[in-house]
Structure 1
Amino acid sequence: MRFLKLYLLSVFALFLLACYDDDEGPEFSFDREISEISVLEDCSTDTADGRSCYKIRYRYPYHLDDYSGLCVWLDTVIVDDTSKAVNNKQIAQAHDSSNKEAFFFEYKTNGRYYDTLDLTDRVAQFIDDGYDSLQVALFCEYSDGRDPGAVQRTVLRFKDNIAPSNVVPEDSVWSKGVLISWDRPTDQTSFHKQGENDGKIFGYNVVIYAIDRPDEDIRDLKVSVQTPKGTDYTGDKYFKRDAQIVRSVDSFYVQNVERSDKVKNYLRLVIFDGEGYNTQDPAKNNFRLIIEGLRTRSNTEDYEYKIGFSAWDEVGNRSGSQGDPQVDPKDWRGFMTTDSIAPLMPKKIFFEEDSLFPGFAKLDSNNHVRIYWNRSVDPLKFKHGISVDSELVIPRGCNIQECYEDVSKYTVKYYNKLDKSWNLYADADKDGIYSRYRRDGKGGFEYDALDTASFISYTIRRVAPGDTIILRLNSVDSSGYKSGVLQDTVFVSPGKLGDELKCPEGFVAVSTSDTTSFCMERYEHRSADGKFMTNVLHSEAVAACEAISASGFEVSLCKERDWELTCLSGGSLPYGVIEEDDKSSDYLFRYCNVSTGNAAIAEDIAKRDPQCMNPMGVRDLPGQFQEWVMGRSEDSVAVVKGSSYMIYEGLDRESIAYCTNRAFPYYTRPGYTQDTVYLYREGTKVDTVYAADTTRTLYQKLTTKDFKDTLQFYDVIDANGKVIGKDFSLYSEYKKGGDAWLDSLANGLTYKPTTKEAVFLTGEKLYYRAAASFYKSSTIGFRCCAYKK
């Protein structure tokens, strides 16, 4: 007996050791928990009292056998915010219908993977009690007594406690002032609505501070504010002086601030807003603050100012530290005024003239135009004696470092007539981009490496023959002071071909060989209201081009070979754009909108990048929209050329953008045969072929009488009642779907049922190219060509 007791004790000890686990706490089975929990703040209809709806969507546990339902506890009274497990008492409270903090949601088999809890009515009492947020604990109950899953939690948020996005103001300075601009920030008002960011902004705190100069009084500087609603010069409408937005417990308000001499080097402003971010017109989110009367930078002392900034939404959430040094000095943004004398700029731009077209700028073989202007200087005194005209004339004895200095850089902007904006050339503010030139005595210019060379040169790239370029030039001195604007217009030579053809408006002259030239639309064809014509049939594209009247020309849809050779530009440009040597794929993506998925750029001509151009001035041959062309033969009339903004899975953008690529639009239809079908047996396998094979053992021969499948054929009719092609579908689909299904198949055309035919379905997919005549897509447009009569 003694040995039996020792044996039993040892077995029990081994059992304990075997069950021992280093991890403390209960173990749970993850497949017995709900997952993918999300909070929906959504009402299908407005509630009577205007409240928001609160719903929890979740995925059922993977293990549904013996699943009874979901225990739900609101707040932390019954289930706290840390426990992973619950006891029988807590589960019982969830089943007690009189308990307002808990309930049980019974599972009823419905064949779905997800379910939704509507908690709107249950959380109303918590909202009325002033809760900002509410914990919801969820626990899956099973009837089999096995290990359960852990408690899951989520949080319902009832109030907007999300700050607006940070504002990053930009500044532009001059000798006695600064212009500070910023865009209205986005504001997410609900934690549960990630995509909605147009909450209203109450206003902005702005603090200007004269650093380490308590003697400088900036309280009464001249201030004006430009908002999307209008301009305020006095501070009685859109801004307020000596004020700031503050928060106190549950409220926020605008309070007046001290104006004592102790803080006279501070200027505090509140700028009012009251609107949310405008996604339709982003330009209407812009604010501008202009402050005048600051100290001018001198040669002996730099006057630095700093600005603090914060944005407040309509419930008092704030982003930014508003410049209080004790909050976060890193949030101060510094700026310095310029000196008191601006650099001088001449009044004219020079260029090399085309010998065939006097007065027009010469366009070189790389589509470059080189411009010149007399170099700018920065006077050191107001009475400098330098005369300003088309050139700067410096009087004798007025040498560098005595009455003027060199400027540090130039800016060159061009006017975009499409969106009526001024744009900086991408490389025009880089160091070393400008070269020094001097007159060559023959009316031209020659390079001169000496500092004494009096002309500056800049090369404008990707210029089309006949372009009109409106330019604005500034020089910038070492203090950041910009000169006055040199604005001038450069008319580019149309070239011999352009002069000979004199293309209709909207067309440019192109040449595909030594003997072949014609006119092509610069962009894809647009309607009278300026919108690109897409989603049209090939026949409609043909009709639109033939309807264009141009004296001396015959206008038609561009022929495939003409389109392709124009794109190739003599065979040197496989993608139809100038200088695509800066990495083709990236270039096509950034400038030509090839395979970006961005339809907005394609549809809005003002958003397109002018750098996607071929040497003859034709725009957007790759990217934007694919284009209908006239095919090379009668059996392939409807052909598509070019690439579009659409992303094609498995195809890289370089491959689809080749000028030589061609496509035949098609629909996928079930493959079928009406020939005799021979079935052959090879062992236990039955093989199908559509012609007799005398080398194998015939199993069965199927003829038309054995065919059990039926196809319905249709005449496809356009808006003018003309039959433009034939299509087909399974008769069973047509019978089941009826006219409504047929309308969806027709894609805006008319499908008239004609015949039904018994067939043998092969189980394959047929790429039905005959559909090209009645295929249309929002990604396909076209362009017209004009040929001399």
Structure 2
Amino acid sequence: MRFFRLYSFFVVSVLALILSACSDDDDGTDYPFDREVMELSVLRSCGDKADSGDACYRLRFRYPIETERLEALYLWLDTSVVDDTSKNVSSSQRDKADSVIEFVRKDGKTYDTIDLTGMIKDYLKEKYDSLQVAIFCKYSKGDPGAVQRLFLHFGDDQQPSLVSIRMDSIWTTGAVSQWFRPTDQTDYYSPAEISGPIVGYNVVITAANKDEDLRKLKISVEGAEDTVRYARIRFTHDSIWVDTTLHSSKEKNIFHFVILDGQGFDMDNDSANLFVMSINGLKTESRYTIGITSWDSSGNSSVEVTKDFFTTDSIAPLIATSLVTIEDTLFPGTGLAALDSNNRLRIFWSRAVDPLVKDHGIKEDTVLLFPSGCGAMDCYDTVASYDVMRFNPVTKTWDSVAFAGGSSSRYNKEYDWDDGYMSVVDGGRYVTDTIRWVVPGDTLILRIRARDASGYYSHSLIDTVYVSPSALANELECPEGFVAVSVSDTNKFCMEKFEHRNDSGEFVTNVLHSEAAAACEAMSASGFKVSLCKERDWELVCLSEGRLNFGVVEDDTVSSSEFLFRVCNIATNDSTSATNVTKRNYRCINPMGVHDMPGQLQEWVMGRSEDSAAVLKGASYKVFNGLDIESIARCTNRSFPFFTRVGYTQDTVYLYREGTRVDTVFEADTSRTLYAKLTTKDFKDSVQFFDVQDSSGNSVGVDYAPYAEYKKGGEEWLKSVSNGLVYVPDHVEKVFFTGEKIVYRKASSFYRSPSVGFRCCAYPEADSE
């Protein structure tokens, strides 16, 4: 999809391309950029003459802009005749071309393909990893453009991504580390295919103390197929295998083992990619290093990633068993926690301690209870830090929110009750933290662990906090999946929390505006009329009474564009996150509890008039060249989808002669001498109009194409341009093609895209009458 505002960026980009091409020279020679092929790419598809089982490669390219005196295209494989830097070729080099393709002019043909399959068989037999393809244009007169080239890649030569090691917990004699299965790109020409199988991992655990013996370590790995002690994965020539390693007393502080995997990255279930490795048998307060290298099934290995850690002392810190929150005064006696105006939740818990002796006698309860004679710096010390985590019910994982409210230095402040409120008090029993991105009515499951100076964690304090609903939520009992919103004192309604999903929980995308409207109207909710959200209502909810520019409670520690990119999936080309709710970030939420108004999917809304009914709001995961993230993500931004079509006129066309050149214009110019005037009867061009229909046979709009193009392509061509709709030929009209590409706005009624969804709104029936 394109937008009007893209045009200026496009012009600047073309000018930049022209300037850079024209400034490139070789020994003072100018190579006209308009006399060289462009947009070289490789198609992994077979031509008509390919044998079954062939590894097929086809070179796709765009013909030069200038084809007037183009005679032939020369093509070379390898670098033995044409190297990888030269811009020109001699006549002797042209005589040694692997292929010479005579140029045959075909009106309207701008792209072509050359089947390389048969030409590269010998190179495949010799097991080339890659192969240069060079192409050069021969002109009968004038300077040629420079040699253009690309490289074919054979097989899988892409390394797996790096393993990212996280230490989950460390104690006196052991540790638990976690990592997720890395992705592996198996095909150079298909960068989105990143789920190649990982054979396994070479793991090395090293003790800093060379006298320490690690040979009897106990290792267990959740998520692995198997583990092999004293081994490593190796690759030679075309074989990959597990080989044994030395484990003599000379290297007793180094422990090698292999973790076998055999699976590819699971895009739909993150937990299936998780490995949890437990190590037991280490020494107290000692230093160790874990190194992990992943291997794919083609023998490619990632770079080794290492992680240092220290085992802890022998006494774990202690923490209380429950949290304390401030009750919302609007709901007295309920225990419901209050939020501040920035959707933040303040939590308190009894200050944890690190015992210095084993027989300390401290009891863990809602607060820590200290026996007589157990004093600070004698019986216990303060802990080093706290680990605060929030359970994500969608992904079933714990998400870190430590230091959510600011610097960790506030853990040095002590709090206690003072007339029903928590205040800073010397010797207070409580410390505090702040949880951001909380919405009215939330239920939060929080986990807090205290950590001493050696890194030893306490048992987990796990508690559930029930957040008070907004007053508006009590007033409007919204249907399931909707949240109460307000755009003024009198305009209150319900909006879907996420973009619309079907009964299976999948986001509904690639729908027409009319289909989106019908899906909303088919929903039933007692006391409400459900419809596609009105454009102005969507915008005002996004603005949140003018407090937000982007429809999200932003992180004030980073710029808005960086936050939107990292959290809201704008212009990342990450369709997986957009279509899988478990991969979305809960922080892309507005204060009323509406998720993902910027980012993920653009949304159909009901426009403000019949002339602009099909309007898109928000931003999607798609990249729109020339538009910065902040521009496309603003709540006030609106988009009208269109297709680019060939321009034509049915009005009078005027031809004026200037020497041997004839100038074509579309308005009379009395200052010039008229050569000829063309009307409809003189036109040689024709346009075929189509009635565009949906799958039910309903007409959704009118489209058109040059008649010659339609007749040449036939039904197969129609299918390729129809985007899943039905194009029914309607009538043909005589026209004059202007030579321009125009914006065809009527396409909005039959535009659909995988990046476009919608959101329904439920309006109280009394307000909708």
Structure-2 change in CA distance of 1:507 and 1:115 (3 Å): closer
Aligned to 2:353: 377
Q: 2:452 aligns with which of 477, 493, 496?
A: 477
Task: Give me the whole-angstrom Cα distance separating, in 2, the residues matched to 1:643 and 1:550.
Answer: 29
Q: 1:649 aligns with which of 610, 618, 625?
A: 625
Please say if 1:533 is aligned against 2:508. Answer: yes
Aligned partner of residue 418 in structure 2, secondary structure: coil
Higher CA-based Rg: 1
Q: What is the letter of the counterpart of residue 345 of structure 1?
A: I
Q: What is the letter of the counterpart of residue 418 of structure 2?
A: G
Deviation at 1:592, TM superposition (A): 1.8
Task: Give me the whole-angstrom Cα distance separating, in 2, the residues matched to 1:290 and 1:182.
Answer: 12
Aligned to 1:12: none
Deviation at 1:694, TM superposition (A): 9.3
Task: Give me the whole-angstrom Cα distance separating, in 1, the residues matched to 2:707 and 2:54.
Answer: 51
Is the contact between residue 71 and residue 105 of structure 1 (CA under 8 Å) also seen in structure 2? yes
Task: Give me the whole-angstrom Cα distance separating, in 2, the residues matched to 1:494 and 1:393.
Answer: 34
Residues 216-256 of structure 1: per-residue CA shift (max 9 Å, x gap): 55433433233432xxxxxxxx3344556789999997676
Deviation at 1:314, TM superposition (A): 7.0
Task: Give me the whole-angstrom Cα distance separating, in 1, the residues matched to 2:115 and 2:491.
Answer: 68
Aligned to 2:723: 747
Aligned to 1:220: 216
Is the contact between residue 54 and residue 117 of structure 2 (CA under 8 Å) also seen in structure 1? no
Aligned to 1:614: 590
Task: Give me the whole-angstrom Cα distance separating, in 2, the residues matched to 1:365 and 1:674.
Answer: 61
Where in structure 2 are the equivalents of 1:386-401 lying within 5 Å?
Answer: 386-401=362-377
Deviation at 1:72, TM superposition (A): 9.8
Aligned to 2:314: 340
Structure 1 unaligned spans of 5+ = 1-26, 85-90, 96-102, 143-152, 230-237, 298-302, 322-330
Please say if 1:551 is aligned against 2:548. Answer: no
Please say if 1:785 is aligned against 2:761. Answer: yes
Task: Give me the whole-angstrom Cα distance separating, in 2, the residues matched to 1:304 and 1:160.
Answer: 38
Q: 2:667 aligns with which of 665, 678, 689?
A: 689
Is the contact between residue 647 and residue 739 of structure 2 (CA under 8 Å) also seen in structure 1? yes
Aligned partner of residue 515 in structure 2, secondary structure: helix
Q: 2:608 aligns with which of 632, 653, 656?
A: 632
Where in structure 2 are the equivalents of 1:309-708 lying within 5 Å?
Answer: 334-357=308-331, 358-425=334-401, 427-428=403-404, 431-432=408-409, 434=411, 436-448=413-425, 450=426, 452-579=427-554, 582-672=558-648, 677=652, 679=654, 688-689=666-667, 705-706=681-682
Q: What is the letter of the counterpart of residue 622 of structure 2?
A: M
Deviation at 1:482, TM superposition (A): 0.7
Structure-2 change in CA distance of 1:407 and 1:785 (3 Å): same
Task: Give me the whole-angstrom Cα distance separating, in 2, the residues matched to 1:187 and 1:722.
Answer: 44
Residues 335-369 of structure 1: per-residue CA shift (max 9 Å, x gap): 32111111111111111111122211112211111
Task: Give me the whole-angstrom Cα distance separating, in 2, the residues matched to 1:736 and 1:65.
Answer: 24
Structure-2 change in CA distance of 1:115 and 1:702 (3 Å): closer
Aligned to 1:13: none
Q: What is the letter of the counterpart of residue 280 of structure 2?
A: E
Structure-2 change in CA distance of 1:522 and 1:290 (3 Å): same
Residues 519-556 of structure 1: per-residue CA shift (max 9 Å, x gap): 11111111111111122122211111111111121111
**TM-score normalised according to structure 2 size:** 0.75
Deviation at 1:116, TM superposition (A): 4.7
Structure-2 change in CA distance of 1:744 and 1:317 (3 Å): closer
Residues 60-99 of structure 1: per-residue CA shift (max 9 Å, x gap): 9xxx999999999999xxx9x9xx9xxxxxx9xxx9xxxx
Aligned partner of residue 601 in structure 1, secondary structure: helix
Structure 2 unaligned spans of 5+ = 1-26, 64-68, 87-91, 105-111, 139-148
Deviates most, 48-57 or 661-670: 48-57
Q: What is the letter of the counterpart of residue 543 of structure 1?
A: A
Residues 103-136 of structure 1: per-residue CA shift (max 9 Å, x gap): 9957575679978585777579x96xxx999999
Structure-2 change in CA distance of 1:597 and 1:242 (3 Å): closer
Task: Give me the whole-angstrom Cα distance separating, in 1, the residues matched to 2:60 and 2:549.
Answer: 52
Task: Give me the whole-angstrom Cα distance separating, in 2, the residues matched to 1:479 and 1:268.
Answer: 26
Is the contact between residue 510 and residue 519 of structure 1 (CA under 8 Å) also seen in structure 2? yes
Aligned partner of residue 666 in structure 2, secondary structure: strand
Structure-2 change in CA distance of 1:409 and 1:190 (3 Å): same
Aligned partner of residue 474 in structure 2, secondary structure: helix
**TM-score normalised according to structure 1 size:** 0.73
The total of aligned residue pairs comes to 710
Q: What is the letter of the counterpart of residue 566 of structure 1?
A: V
Is the contact between residue 605 and residue 615 of structure 2 (CA under 8 Å) also seen in structure 1? yes
Task: Give me the whole-angstrom Cα distance separating, in 2, the residues matched to 1:439 and 1:134.
Answer: 69
**Identity of matched residues, %:** 47
Deviation at 1:601, TM superposition (A): 1.9
Structure-2 change in CA distance of 1:310 and 1:661 (3 Å): closer
Is the contact between residue 39 and residue 54 of structure 1 (CA under 8 Å) also seen in structure 2? no
Structure-2 change in CA distance of 1:280 and 1:546 (3 Å): closer
Task: Give me the whole-angstrom Cα distance separating, in 1, the residues matched to 2:196 and 2:644.
Answer: 46
Structure-2 change in CA distance of 1:54 and 1:740 (3 Å): closer
| RMSD over aligned Cα atoms | 5.6
Task: Give me the whole-angstrom Cα distance separating, in 2, the residues matched to 1:367 and 1:137.
Answer: 58
Structure-2 change in CA distance of 1:201 and 1:732 (3 Å): closer
Deviates most, 387-396 or 772-781: 772-781
Aligned to 1:178: 175
Is the contact between residue 361 and residue 492 of structure 1 (CA under 8 Å) also seen in structure 2? yes
Task: Give me the whole-angstrom Cα distance separating, in 2, the residues matched to 1:742 and 1:35.
Answer: 28
Task: Give me the whole-angstrom Cα distance separating, in 2, the residues matched to 1:447 and 1:578.
Answer: 28
Residues 477-505 of structure 1: per-residue CA shift (max 9 Å, x gap): 10000111111111111111011102111
Is the contact between residue 56 and residue 117 of structure 1 (CA under 8 Å) also seen in structure 2? no
Task: Give me the whole-angstrom Cα distance separating, in 2, the residues matched to 1:702 and 1:245.
Answer: 77
Q: What is the letter of the counterpart of residue 462 of structure 1?
A: W
Aligned partner of residue 359 in structure 1, secondary structure: coil
Where in structure 2 are the equivalents of 1:41-120 lying within 5 Å?
Answer: 109=102, 116=116
Task: Give me the whole-angstrom Cα distance separating, in 2, the residues matched to 1:624 and 1:246.
Answer: 41
Structure-2 change in CA distance of 1:133 and 1:503 (3 Å): closer
Aligned to 1:4: none
Is the contact between residue 40 and residue 192 of structure 1 (CA under 8 Å) also seen in structure 2? yes
Where in structure 2 are the equivalents of 1:254-269 lying within 5 Å?
Answer: 267-269=255-257
Task: Give me the whole-angstrom Cα distance separating, in 1, the residues matched to 2:241 and 2:689.
Answer: 72
Aligned to 1:304: 287
Structure-2 change in CA distance of 1:121 and 1:583 (3 Å): closer
Structure-2 change in CA distance of 1:71 and 1:255 (3 Å): closer
Where in structure 2 are the equivalents of 1:688-767 lying within 5 Å?
Answer: 688-689=666-667, 705-706=681-682, 709-759=685-735, 765-767=741-743
Q: Which has the higher contact order (CA 8 A, sep 6+)?
A: 2
Aligned partner of residue 360 in structure 1, secondary structure: coil
Residues 407-452 of structure 1: per-residue CA shift (max 9 Å, x gap): 011111111112111110264496325463423333321134x4x2
Q: 1:294 aligns with which of 250, 259, 282?
A: 282
Structure-2 change in CA distance of 1:512 and 1:343 (3 Å): same
Residues 713-735 of structure 1: per-residue CA shift (max 9 Å, x gap): 34333333333333344444444
Is the contact between residue 575 and residue 657 of structure 1 (CA under 8 Å) also seen in structure 2? yes
Aligned partner of residue 689 in structure 1, secondary structure: coil
Residues 631-670 of structure 1: per-residue CA shift (max 9 Å, x gap): 2223332222222222222222222222222233333444
Structure-2 change in CA distance of 1:281 and 1:333 (3 Å): same
Is the contact between residue 680 and residue 696 of structure 1 (CA under 8 Å) also seen in structure 2? no
